[in-house]
Structure formats: C-alpha cells, structure tokens
Amino acid sequence: MRKFLVATTLAFATLVPAALAETPSALLNALPKAVNGQLAPLFTANAIGQAGLNGQLNGTPSALFETVKAALTKAGYREQPIRTTIGAWGFSATWAPPTEVTVDGTASEKSAVLVTQAAALGPERLNLNIRFEGL
C-alpha cells in the first residue's frame, strides 16, 4: 500500500505544476524603474504582506498616470478601468498582475491587485503610493 501511495503522489505531482507565489515586496521591487525608481519601501498595515512603496515626484496627475500605465502595461499588468479615477487631486487605479504571477499572502477568497494612488501635494508635486491589496 505504501508503494502505491508514493507512486500515486509522485505521479500526481508531475501532472500538476506547482504554483509559485512571489512575496509582495519582491514583486514591488521588480516593478519597472519608471514606476518604482524614486520610491522607498513603506510599511503598509492593510496591504498584502504589509509592504508598499511611497515617494514624492514632480509632475501632473495625468502625466504621472500615463507613465505608470505605460510601464505597468509593458510589464504585463492589466489596468482595471472600472477602478481608475484621475483628476487635479491625483489618481487612483488598480492593476491585475500578469497571469503567471501569484502574490504570496493573498487570502484564498480574494484576488490580488496592484494599487497605485497619487495625491497632489502642490503644483507639479505628487505623492505616489503603490501596494498589493486583496479584492
């Protein structure tokens, strides 16, 4: 019986590829430099893995959003337009990770999304925050 169980387990393991999950901090660090190049790591209590990136950047909300969108799209992230808002105050958008990416720490009943939020601090000055959240 033991040989049967071992053989069955090995056979099943070769048929089902293992899903490798990446830590949120590793995924944030792997984002394109156009997105995370000037941001610093940040403890984010409600984010998956309690990890985020944050920093102040020069530019307008619409220009920064276009830079973020182009870089994330090129990296395989998919914008969820239903959750995208842009105004003089800043922007907020969510992005589905590339299909081959699994975010470690995501609750089983939720899907992980990359959240990008920018708030205007003054003329041509924004605070950008990026993190993973479960929806």
pLDDT digits (tens, 9 = 90+) for 69-111: 999 999 999 999 999 999 999 999 999 999 999 899 888 888 9
CB-based contact 132:47 (threshold 8 Å) = yes
Tens digits of per-residue pLDDT, 9-47? 444 444 434 456 789 999 999 999 999 999 999 999 889
Distance in angstroms (rounded) separating the CA atoms of residues 134 and 126: 25
Q: Is pLDDT at 3 greater than 90 in this prediction?
A: no
pLDDT at 18: 42
Give the confidence band of 1 by pLDDT, cuts at 50, 70, 90: low
Short-list 96, 99, 78, 98, CA closest to 134: 96
Confidence (pTM): 0.82
Q: Is pLDDT at 8 greater than 50 in this prediction?
A: no
Mean pLDDT of 59-63: 96
pLDDT at 20: 61
List of domains in the chain: 19-134 (3.30.310)
Distance in angstroms (rounded) separating the CA atoms of residues 111 and 132: 10
